[in-house]
Amino acid sequence: MSANPLLSCRAVTMRFGGVTALDAVDFNAAQGAITSIIGPNGAGKTTLLSAVTGMIEPTSGRIDLGGTDLTPLPAFKRSHAGVVRTFQNLEVFSNMTVLENVMTGHHRHVRYSALDALVRTPRYRREERRCTDLAQEKLAFVGLSELADAPAGDLAFGQQRAMELARAVAAGPSLLLLDEPAAGLNMKETKALGVLIRRIRDELGITIVLVEHDMDLVMGISDEIMVLNYGKNIAVGTPLEIQKDPDVVRAYLGDDDEDI
């Protein structure tokens, strides 16, 4: 993988009282790669994503994006720096259309004031048109153009997940963090999700970090995988290397009944 990763986490530690959720974790995500984080429930996967986005502050360690230290920055500044995250539980504005949902992803980039919006100035109308055009472009990318005017709450679950990804890429991320995007999807939908994630990387040039329990999806699309267990990094490698790693097999891959 790249010697100059887009995302670099160094000795990231997170303690909650007497519990160590992350124990001096080192993690890299190479520019232009799909890097997955796997591990048993409670291993610290989502905690690491939350540390990267600034939702929680690590006890110690450093997080860099493209060589810039993110560690002291609040979540909104990390978002402006290009870090965007989706969550396992869908965030759908059911009272808005599909197009309007996707437009919210780009709204942090608009260049008009509250007064412009109140009186609907030419600047407001111009920026809203730009935002609308971009949202329509992202809906076309995920295959939802024909549903742009439909109420978002009426979409099937898999379509809502695709809409969420359209909204995420509309935000213009350099780094996209996906937290269990296959949760609740059937096998066909999960396969389509894998194709879409690869397209986001290949066609939009967005670096992706994936936390996921579906091992078929992880092994099928990942360039590199890091394995966490009890807050510690126990292995890093390609999908084939991870499948053969004895520490990983002992941790959970060798047990078909283990919830990963």
Number of domains in the chain: 1
CB 138 within 8 A of CB 47: no
Assigned domain for 39 exists: yes
What pLDDT score was predicted for residue 147?
97
Assigned domain for 144 exists: no
End-to-end CA distance of the chain: 25
Q: Which domain holds residue 17?
A: 7-92+155-253
Segment 61-89, tens digit of pLDDT: 999 999 999 999 999 999 999 999 998 88
DSSP string, 10-37: EEEEEEETTEEEEEEEEEEE-TT-EEEE
Assigned domain for 117 exists: no
Residues 6+ apart with CB under 8 A from 183: 88, 213
The residue assigned the tokens 């920026």 is 127
Assigned domain for 116 exists: no
Assigned domain for 58 exists: yes
Assigned domain for 258 exists: no
What pLDDT score was predicted for residue 120?
73
Handedness of CA 114, 129, 159, 166 (dihedral sign): negative
Assigned domain for 185 exists: yes
Assigned domain for 260 exists: no
DSSP string, 63-125: EEETTEE-TTS-HHHHHHHTEEEE-SS----TTSBHHHHHHHHHGGG----HHHHHHT-HHHH
The alpha-carbon radius of gyration of the chain (Å, integer) is: 19
Burial of 78 (0-12, 13-18, 19+ CB in 10 A): buried
How many other CB atoms are there within 10 angstroms of residue 125's CB atom? 12
The CATH number assigned to the domain holding 32 equals 3.40.50.300
pLDDT in tens, the chain (260 residues): 445 799 999 999 999 988 999 999 999 999 999 999 999 888 999 999 999 999 999 999 999 999 999 999 999 999 999 999 998 888 888 889 999 999 988 766 666 556 666 667 777 677 778 889 999 999 999 999 999 999 999 999 999 999 999 999 999 999 999 999 999 999 999 999 999 999 999 999 999 999 999 999 999 999 999 999 999 999 999 999 999 898 888 776 555 444 33
Half-sphere exposure of 49 toward its Cβ, with a 13 Å CA cutoff? 24
